[in-house]
A and B are shown apart, each in its own frame.
Chain A
Amino acid sequence: EIVLTQSPGTLSLSPGERATLSCRASQSVSKNYLAWYQQKPGQAPRLLMFGISTRASGIPDRFSGSGSGTDFTLTISRLEPEDFAVYYCQQYGKLPWTFGQGTKVEIK
């Protein structure tokens, strides 16, 4: 199975700052089938991005995705108060579909 490792585990930033989240795969992600989700406490995850860089419906353009092969990045250009949450990357190119362990973006 493809293991996804996210770093850092926790990112402490202030509103308005830029957030850069990393996701590294144990093997190349097929067809760049890589997605990102946001989860807030007590809520279900929300799809942010798929195909590395395609934003899901309703996702603001301060969220962007990049990368290829085994290294991927989610960037939040300017953090808004509602962006403080846990973020998961996920590969859906090869079964079993797998998630990273998550990066928590917290208010500094």
Chain B
Amino acid sequence: EVQLLESGGGLAQPGGSLRLSCVASGFTFSTYAMSWVRQAPGKGLEWVSAINESGGKTYYADFVKGRFAISRDNSKNTLYLQMSSLGAEDTAVYYCAKGYSSSYYGIFDYWGQGSLVTVSS
């Protein structure tokens, strides 16, 4: 059974930093691209970032470019999102999502339960 378990969310100060982790199990982590998708309270879904299977290629939405960094450790089956220069607009539940296949990174067939990030002073 595929499982994605996020952690690391919580309260951050404006301008501060936070690192999210997502531990994967139930599939061969190193052979799938992964993404982060967020959802502000009461709002819709927003794709944030993606990383290919090896970690050699990363992709970002414009609104996080230069502030967030996605990475992965395939030896630990773990995906990361390092967030910095956080603003109130970054307050959201952040989901870790698995890419469907090597040809279709952008289809998200499994999702974690989400990690809430709140940016407030």
Contacts and interface: CB of A to CB of B under 8 A. Distances in A.
A53 to B, nearest CB: 13
A102 interface: yes
A85 interface: no
Contacts of A100: 44
Nearest to A57: B109
B100 interface: yes
Contact of B107 (A1, A44, A47, A99): A47
Interface string A9-21: 0000000000000
Contact of A95 (B59, B100, B109): B59
B60 to A, nearest CB: 8
A68 B91 CA distance: 35
A99 B47 contact: yes
A35 interface: yes
B113 interface: yes
Interface residues of B, number: 21
Interface string B79-121: 0000000000000000100001000111111011110000000
A32 B107 CA distance: 12
Contacts of A44: 95, 111-114
Nearest to B6: A44
B100 A50 contact: yes
A98 B47 contact: yes
29 contacts: A35-B107, A37-B45, A44-B95, A44-B111, A44-B112, A44-B113, A45-B95, A45-B108, A45-B111, A46-B111, A47-B107, A47-B109, A50-B100, A50-B104, A50-B107, A56-B109, A57-B109, A88-B44, A88-B45, A92-B105, A92-B106, A93-B106, A95-B59, A96-B59, A97-B50, A99-B45, A99-B46, A100-B44, A102-B44
Interface of A: 1, 33, 35, 37, 39, 44-47, 50, 56-57, 88, 90, 92-93, 95-102
